[in-house]
Structure 1
Amino acid sequence: MIVKYLRLLLLPFSFIYGIAIVLRKKLYDWGILPSIKFDIPIICVGNLAVGGSGKTPTTEYLVRLLADYKIAILSRGYGRKTKGFVLADERATAESIGDEPLQYYQKFEQVTVAVCEDRVKGVEQLKDHHDVIILDDAFQHRRIHPGFNILLFEFRKLGTLQCLLPAGNLRDVFSSRKRADVLLVTKAPVPLLHVAQQASINELQPNSNQPVLHSYLKYGNLQHLYTGENRALASIEGYELFLLTGIANPQPLIEELQKLSKNIHHEEFADHYAFEIDDLKRFKSAFEQGISKEKIIITTEKDSQRLRAIGFEDLLVNLPIYYLPIEVELFEEDKITFDELILNYVKSNSRNR
């Protein structure tokens, strides 16, 4: 209730923020502020809200789809303690490049991963040595003009009233969706009923040339944080679960785990939270006080990047602590459309080398 009233108090500031966003948008639309194009395929994955829409697994989907090309992923590197252009290497940490870029680097050996708050400078550094660049979370970065914009919308939030920052979670006005080449609805239920699919289209009101496509989350095997051991998710049915998250929206994960256990203890932190020793000591103590003989600690793949920080291993290494990888998958007809759009764009805009 207190949060609700605080949001109401912040509405005037959201109105001012909205005016600033619309003015900035118009300055770019009118060409008063320049937007730079490059002669290399550039795919932008973005959203209108703050976090939680599935940009990371969508970026990973693109990497797997475009495996025949030399790919670079360029991110801002949210939460890092460095500045400027940084190329990921074997010394990279979540503090030096951010948790999501570190996840890309560790997951895809053949992909170049870089961070730079100025995407134009970042592309300048990468363009001569790659076939395609994926911009992670750059839809609002109008100084660069990507060749293909994928805009994500979380299924469960469509149809709900959302406000601009700071009263709400929107960082851009809803009309900005018209700039996108594809509107991708994420975290849809399986199976997806036709009436729900149509409701998404009605809510987004796409242009005639804007496909509205739907994706869902697919969960992998649990991976131990340190040993590399993996086990099937179904193997923890009936366990006492201790869930540790520092992501924007843990609700889909909680719902997935609730299919396996009704005994879940959730320690929730803010998105990109920098875990501290005291946080983990407290969490470890709660786990050790668990009453079940069969108990396990679960975290997200993104959080695992920060939990592997120097200084935490002695505290966690002997615990049954696992992260749960996720992938994005599209429904059959939508997958055909999406893959074809991406592959055709990259092929038709690739340079002869």
Structure 2
Amino acid sequence: MKLIRNISFPFVPAYYAVTSLRNKLYDLGIKKSTSYDLPVICVGNLSVGGTGKTPMIEYLIELLKDDYKIATLSRGYKRKTTGFQLADASSSAETLGDEPFQFYSKFKNDILVAVDADRTHGIEQLRKLDNAPDVILLDDAFQHRKVKAGLNILLTTYSNPYFDDFVLPTGNLREPRNGAKRADIIIVTKCPYHLSEAEKNTFLKQINPKGNQSVFFSTIDYSNEIISAKSKKSMDSVNNFTLVTGIANANPLVGFLKKKNLQFEHLNFSDHHEFSQQDVLEINKRDLIITTEKDFMRLKDHVVLKDKLFYLPIKVRIGNEAAVNKHIKDFVKV
């Protein structure tokens, strides 16, 4: 893969030029962005994935759901439906995509969950509902500039920050680094625990935020319990299991499990992998399977796995949490 990316380096200027021109047309108002008279919060990144958008959306849901009617709006990546879809009791990972289905499974009594590749159309449909939302959370829509969100939250990982990356196809960036200037809040995700102030300051200098931008650092908190469709187990009671992942970057999870000195094999699939029947048959040969919550949404309907399939929940922990919460709540109040 690295060789292919190095060979493709001559195509970088063309990709850079096309994405830069697109952004310039939006900046100049030649291409239209639609603003809304209700709070719209966009969570996204510059890279192609693995920055922690799903747990960040869940963080926002937890922060706001008790005071506002919340809707999440996602593209619904790899779903087998088209157009606008509003989640209901008949929904699945196939109709919504794995991440929106995860939102629905966890928060269906508190929020609306919708998918639409055209976020403008999706917002219009949500606003027509009798129980229309007060706040809309756009999942992975930083490059969807047809919508002008009122608050843009940009995520970048500590281990692979956007300022050290290149645009596709050699690097992982969907657009040039200067796209970060559109962010109101930049959150550095998946940071090491106990990150020192000196390390934070070094990182901040490289981000070089504008005067109107706030930067926060976050870590992943892993639960001490694994959860199945029927039960829970303490992580301290498990060993010799199979870890199954279909996410962009499984390294933090693998590192966490290794630090606990657990013995496991790792079946590592591509991001948003569609598990085939053959995959399921192979996975089913194992006695205990632990996966991510996102992968659990795609695997849990396979009956043969139901008694042995568990997921490990995660949450985002943001340093200076009071400040980021105030920033978000102040925006929503206006």
Mark yes or no: TM-score above 0.5.
Answer: yes
Please name the residue that 2:18 is paired with. 20
Please name the residue that 2:30 is paired with. 32
Q: Which ranges in structure 1 are unaligned for 5 or more consecutive residues?
A: 289-295, 349-353
> Is the Cα contact below 8 Å between 2:166 and 2:176 reproduced in 1?
no
Return the offset for 1:133: 0.3
Return the offset for 1:214: 0.7
> Is the Cα contact below 8 Å between 1:159 and 1:203 reproduced in 2?
no
Please name the residue that 1:74 is paired with. 73
Return the offset for 1:159: 7.9
SS of the equivalent of 2:23 reads helix
Report 1:43-192 matches (<5 A): 43-67=41-65, 68-108=67-107, 109-127=109-127, 129-158=132-161, 161-192=164-195
Please name the residue that 1:339 is paired with. 325
Q: 1:316 corresponds to which letter in structure 2?
A: L
Give the distance between the partners of 1:43 and 1:195, measured in 2 at CA.
31
Q: 1:344 corresponds to which letter in structure 2?
A: D
Please name the residue that 1:5 is paired with. 3
SS of the equivalent of 2:8 reads helix
Give the distance between the partners of 2:172 and 2:250, measured in 1 at CA.
16
Give the distance between the partners of 1:160 and 1:176, measured in 2 at CA.
11
Q: Which ranges in structure 2 are unaligned for 5 or more consecutive residues?
A: none
Q: 1:341 corresponds to which letter in structure 2?
A: H
1:325 pairs, out of 302, 313, 325, with 313
Give the share of equivalent positions with the same residue, in percent. Answer: 44
Return the offset for 1:262: 4.8
SS of the equivalent of 1:134 reads strand
Give the distance between the partners of 1:159 and 1:195, measured in 2 at CA.
20
2:289 pairs, out of 297, 300, 307, with 297
1:266 equivalent to 2:252? Answer: no
Please name the residue that 1:306 is paired with. 298
Give the distance between the partners of 1:7 and 1:74, measured in 2 at CA.
32
Give the distance between the partners of 1:161 and 1:38, measured in 2 at CA.
34
RMSD of aligned residue pairs (Cα, Å): 1.4
Give the distance between the partners of 2:170 and 2:261, measured in 1 at CA.
35
Residues 64-116 of structure 1 deviation map (CA, whole Å, 9 limit, x = unaligned): 11021000000000110111100000111111110000000010121000000
Please name the residue that 2:40 is paired with. 42
Give the distance between the partners of 2:193 and 2:126, measured in 1 at CA.
39
Return the offset for 1:241: 2.6
Return the offset for 1:264: 2.2
Please name the residue that 1:351 is paired with. none
Please name the residue that 1:235 is paired with. 237
The count of aligned residue pairs is: 329
Q: 2:178 corresponds to which letter in structure 1?
A: S
SS of the equivalent of 2:57 reads helix
> Is the Cα contact below 8 Å between 2:226 and 2:235 reproduced in 1?
no
Return the offset for 1:16: 1.1
Please name the residue that 1:284 is paired with. 284
> Is the Cα contact below 8 Å between 1:240 and 1:261 reproduced in 2?
no
Residues 241-276 of structure 1 deviation map (CA, whole Å, 9 limit, x = unaligned): 310000001000001111223522100111110101
